[in-house]
Chain A
Amino acid sequence: MSDAIHVSTRVDVDPDAAFRLFTDEVDSWWRRGPRFRWNLEEDGVVRFEGGEGGRFVEVYDEASGDAFEVGRIEVWDPPKRLVFTFRARAFAPGESTEVEVRFEPAGPAGEATDVTVEHRGWDALREDHPARHALDASAFADMMGVWWADLLTSARQHAATRGEKG
């Protein structure tokens, strides 16, 4: 899909370790605070529960089960690929986007890993979502398909040439 945001980094561990650390130790590296987590007042514990079909959650209280379900694991394919649905705090119930994480061997002997995050599915947001307003699904998908990549650079360049960062 083309309505996606891509971000990648090279990590100096092999794909097996990268996948395991990404998932098993997600709470250790997932940044804290309301910008990154889902509760305004307190951070909980973030974790991937099990493999495919499992939850991706932030748990606030183990005893009561108080948690925010960020999404569900759709693909669990170590050490290559992880796909899960992803909801921001402001999303309405049932509204979701999708995140795919790919782990690709890198470096001369595959001792490093290129980790790429693709965040997509913005066109699946509800009809009245601020991001899509009155566009119907096909118009929105078309717009994103044609222009998403350009949009990223052009909007940014424009903000920059005006000397005022967005």
Chain B
Amino acid sequence: MTMGQAALDLTLLALADPTRRRVVDLLRERPRRAGEIADAFGASPPAMSRHLKVLRQRGLVEEERSEDDARCRVYRLRPEPFRDLSAWLEEIESFWTDQLDSFKTHAEKRAGGKKR
């Protein structure tokens, strides 16, 4: 079992804040404009802008200019950090899934052999 790298640290750290986790949940649905995100939380634009900055710096979201309106910025999730996190969790889970599969096979073979 091996775990983590610098990228994973940053992902976990950025997600330690409940507001930022909710922003991520919101962006999982689709990319959104900064104003939309602030509205969804009833947060002030400066407060939301700080959260978005952290998410951006930690590489969880990226921003781009809206195609419709160049003054408007749209935020979307970047998949990479989520894959790192997902991979870490899945590694531990699949470690035990494989172990229990192997145990089941062994136990049932032994029991069958003895006609229990």
A: residues with CB less than 8 A from B are 5, 7-14, 17-18, 21-22, 25, 28-31, 35-36, 88-90, 115, 117, 119, 129-135, 139-140, 142-143, 146-147, 151-152, 154-159, 161-162, 164, 166
A12 to B83, CA, bound (A): 36
- Contact between B104 and A11, CB atoms less than 8 A apart: yes
Task: Indicate whether A90 sits within 8 Å of B3 (C-beta atoms), given known contacts A13-B116, A143-B12, A162-B79.
Answer: yes
A162 to B99, CA, bound (A): 29
Binds A, one of B34-42, B48-56, B65-73, B84-92: B84-92
Kindly report which residue of chain A lies nearest to residue B77, judged by CB atoms. A158
- Contact between B105 and A159, CB atoms less than 8 A apart: no
- Distance of A3 from chain B, by nearest CB (Å): 11
In the complex, which range does the number of interface residues on chain B fall in? 35 or more
A76 to B91, CA, bound (A): 27
- Contact between A133 and B2, CB atoms less than 8 A apart: no
Give 26 CB contacts A-B under 8 Å: A7-B93, A8-B100, A10-B104, A12-B108, A17-B116, A21-B110, A22-B103, A28-B106, A29-B105, A29-B106, A30-B99, A36-B98, A88-B1, A117-B99, A131-B12, A132-B9, A135-B16, A140-B16, A142-B16, A143-B16, A146-B18, A151-B89, A154-B25, A158-B79, A159-B83, A166-B86
| B1-56 interface (Cβ within 8 A of A) | 1-6, 8-10, 12-13, 15-16, 18, 21, 24-25, 28
- Distance of B110 from chain A, by nearest CB (Å): 6
- Contact between A139 and B16, CB atoms less than 8 A apart: yes
Which of B13, B95, B105 lies in contact with A35, CB distance below 8 A? Answer: B95
- Contact between A30 and B90, CB atoms less than 8 A apart: no
Task: Indicate whether A159 sits within 8 Å of B86 (C-beta atoms), given known contacts A13-B111, A143-B12.
Answer: yes
Task: Indicate whether A13 sits within 8 Å of B107 (C-beta atoms), given known contacts A31-B98, A135-B13.
Answer: yes
- Contact between A130 and B89, CB atoms less than 8 A apart: no
A140 to B71, CA, bound (A): 38
- Contact between A130 and B8, CB atoms less than 8 A apart: yes
- Contact between A89 and B12, CB atoms less than 8 A apart: no
Which of A13, A30, A117, A161 lies in contact with B108, CB distance below 8 A? Answer: A13
